[in-house]
Amino acid sequence: MKKNHLIIVLTIVLFSSCANIFNGLVLTNQCKKCELINKMNGEILFTNEGCGSENTHLEEEAQLKAYEMSRGSYNLCNLEVNCTTWKQEPTKQE
């Protein structure tokens, strides 16, 4: 049974690493910004953004932050994760 757990963990790490490598090599200009918004007053509670390999799992991180904040003083139903993507202009090399 322990061998199965090890294989599952290694598989998850491998796929996560592959996503980072793919985004870094192929989607270098692809950017994403995720915000955690309080729907009651429009306040932005958390922001994270990145381009290329840095944009992997940004939405999941914002969702986890929403869950963490809901355990405190916020109601989960009043929190919303909003993500936007865009392409960054390539830098010109002289």
pLDDT of residue 23: 52
pTM of the predicted structure, to 2 decimals: 0.65
Cβ contact 56:23 at 8 Å:
yes
Q: What is the mean pLDDT of residues 40-58?
A: 89
Q: Mean pLDDT check: name the lowest of 12-16, 40-44, 76-80.
A: 12-16
3-state secondary structure of 50: strand
Q: What is the mean pLDDT of residues 13-41?
A: 72
Cβ contact 44:35 at 8 Å:
yes
Q: What is the mean pLDDT of residues 16-28?
A: 55
pLDDT of residue 64: 93
* CA–CA distances in Å: residue 64 to residues 33, 42, 82, 89, 91: 15, 19, 13, 30, 33
Q: Is the pLDDT of residue 74 over 70?
A: yes
